[in-house]
Structure 1
Amino acid sequence: MYHSYADIPDPWDRLRWCRYGLDLLQKEVASMVGMEEWLYRDLESGTFHRSFTPELADKLAALYSIPVEDLLDDYTLFLHRGGGELLRRYRESKGWTRRQLADHAKVSRTSIRCWESGQKTISQKCFRLLAENLGPDFLSMLRM
């Protein structure tokens, strides 16, 4: 389907490509990085779970000798990079208060406070809303 690793747009297809390149089974990879086989199967199918921790992402990237960013979609990369803390740094880089960020993102100020303080994790649905309302510079900070 793909001619080279660079042609692969989706993280789950990159996982599969790398695993095939090492001639490993899904259960072998799961065992090597200390995760459940069902979770690894889900990762390769494009179904990411909250249990896909930064530590697991780092282990897979190390096993496959690729940058961790190659394995993560924008939402999972956001969580991997600190989620609420990253949101706080974005807000501060803009010189915004929480209220201003909430207005731009079209979410409540309470949500911003809870996310930034780590009291709550940003859901994938809310992340998409943030990305849509804050624009491309919000997503570009993930890849920096």
Structure 2
Amino acid sequence: MAGPRTTVEAQAFYRMYRSYADIPNPWDRLRWCRYGLDLLQKEVAAMVGMEEWLYRDLESGTFHRSFTPELADKLAALYGIPVEDILDDYTLFLHRGGGAFLRRYREAKGWNRQQLADHAKVSRTSIRCWESGQKTISQKCFCHLVENLGSDFSSMLRM
């Protein structure tokens, strides 16, 4: 188990990243913050009310459906950082409401569902199901959306 009390690992980690701003991915940001508070993974998990295995997986870069927006908010509050810092684009998309975010994006562009479907290269039925919450967008479909909608979609997500 990785923990701040294993100083060799923490020292190696701090050599890899000189500052928080240097960390390019959410899972290492979680580890940086945990080390900074001198906490073990199981302690963080207990403090925010999540299973230890889930927190361990988050620090290894594995996303789980059981990583809810509420847990993300609790971790961000514990570490005193913006929630966007600990979420990859897909989990941030889900955190921002998934289909509801997609509807807001479409409306901001002034598009109807068919126009969004044409730009995203998916069916209008998929757009309708995602926006209505009948279906959750899979990570694979999300990546397809990002690829086809371009940087303005990603930029709006990070705002």
TM-score interval (norm. to shorter)? over 0.9
Equivalent residue for 2:85, pick from 49, 55, 70: 70
Deviation at 1:44, TM superposition (A): 0.1
- State the secondary structure of the residue aligned to 1:59: helix
> Could you report, residue by residue, the CA deviation over 1:77-116 in whole angstroms, capped at 9, with x for unpaired residues?
0110111011001111111111111111011111100100
| Residue identity matched to 1:32 | M
- Return 5+ residue gaps in structure 1 as ranges: none
After TM superposition, the structure 1 = structure 2 runs for residues 1-144 of structure 1, keeping only pairs within 5 Å, are 1-144=16-159
1-structure distance, mates of 2:62, 2:119:
29
CA distance, structure 2, for counterparts of residue 38 and residue 78 of structure 1: 23
Deviation at 1:39, TM superposition (A): 0.4
Runs of 4+ in structure 1 displaced over 4 angstroms?
none
Counterparts of 2:120 and 2:158, CA distance in 1: 20
Aligned twin of 2:12: none
Q: CA RMSD in A?
A: 0.6
Q: What is the distance in 2 between the residues matched to 1:66 and 1:39?
A: 20
Length, aligned pairs only: 144
Q: TM-score normalised to the size of structure 2?
A: 0.89
CA distance in structure 1 between the partners assigned to 2:46 and 2:75 by the alignment = 11
TM value normalised by structure 1: 0.98
Aligned equivalent of 2:10? none
**Secondary structure at 1:142's aligned position in 2?**
helix
Q: CA deviation at 1:121?
A: 0.8
Aligned residue identity for 1:22? L
Counterpart in the other structure of 2:3: none
Higher Cα radius of gyration: 2
Q: State the alpha-carbon separation in 2 of the partners of residues 142 and 118 from structure 1.
A: 18
The offset of 1:143, in angstroms, is 1.2
